[in-house]
Amino acid sequence: MDNGSNSIAVIIKHLAGNMISRWADFLTTDGETPDRHRDQEFILTPSDTRQYLMARWETGWQLVFGAVSSISSINFSTTVYIRGEAHSVVRACHRQMTHYAYHVGQIVQLSRYHTGDNWKTLSIPRGQSETFNETLRQKQMKRKNLYDKG
Amino acid sequence: MNDEQIQSFLDEIGYSFHTLKRQVEISVKQVDDEGILPLWTTGPIVLR
């Protein structure tokens, strides 16, 4: 990792800024809000304490979940704008999903790097795919048998 | 999309967002457990 790489804190700050801008008024205003200062999201200042950044992070996610839960068949055909570019609701959601997944992957990788040998994988442990598949298959068979008997 | 398909899409996208959030929380907790605090200090972006 070089000094130009973003830290976990910076990525958290950037994601929170993006979420707050994109989802606060998801269906009604351009997702790039005038009060957003994207470049500043990559610079940590003295006020960017962990407590502050995590509060922003939570605010961002609550806006995401709130916006998604506010969508229905009534407003689903609304055109969403991001930097003046028109998006369907589906496209706007996918745009954000892929962006967040990209940065979440970076955070996971950085966390793994920092944690070292004590890292516990979020996925199937290396070399254990076959065991995992077999365990899953057995669980599914057991469930199917119970269902068939019921 | 009909109503059912729309709801299915929203359920799936909501679940995926929750999963992403959870992945970060689980990862950062592991870093915390190692006691690596400089990640959250201010100043230059130094990872170690």
Residue boundaries of the structural domains of chain A: 8-119
Q: Of B3, B24, B48, which is closest to A73 when you measure between CB atoms?
A: B3
Buried b (16+ CB within 10 A) or exposed e, A43-64: ebeeebeeeebbebbeebbebb
- Hey, what's the torsion of the CAs at A32, A34, A35, A36, to 10 degrees? 30
In the A/B pair of chains, how many CB contacts fall below 8 A?
A: 97
Q: What is the pLDDT of residue A90?
A: 97
Are the Cβ atoms of B6 and A72 closer than 8 angstroms?
A: yes
Lowest mean pLDDT among A21-35, A39-53, A74-88, A92-106: A39-53
Is the pLDDT at A13 greater than 50? The verdict is yes
Per DSSP, the three-state class of B31 is: helix
Neighbours of A18 (CB within 10 A): 21
Q: Write the pLDDT tens digit of every residue in A42-93.
A: 988 888 888 899 999 999 999 999 999 999 999 999 999 999 999 999 999 9
Is the pLDDT at B46 greater than 50? The verdict is no
Q: Write the pLDDT tens digit of every residue in B7-34.
A: 999 999 999 999 999 999 999 888 888 7
Q: Residue A87 is inside which H or E element, if any?
A: strand A85-87
Q: Of B31, B34, B44, which is closest to A3 when you measure between CB atoms?
A: B44
Q: Which residues of B touch A68 (CB under 8 A)?
A: 10, 13-14, 17
Specify the long-range contacts of residues A143-147, CB closer than 8 Å, at least 24 apart: none
Task: With beta carbons less than 8 A apart as the criterion, state whether A106 and B10 touch.
Answer: no
Neighbours of A101 (CB within 10 A): 15
Q: Which residue of A has its CA nearest to B9?
A: A90
The interface pTM score, or ipTM, of the predicted complex is: 0.88
Q: What is the pLDDT of residue A46?
A: 84
pTM: 0.87
Structure tokens at A138: 């057995």
More confident residue, A147 or A97: A97
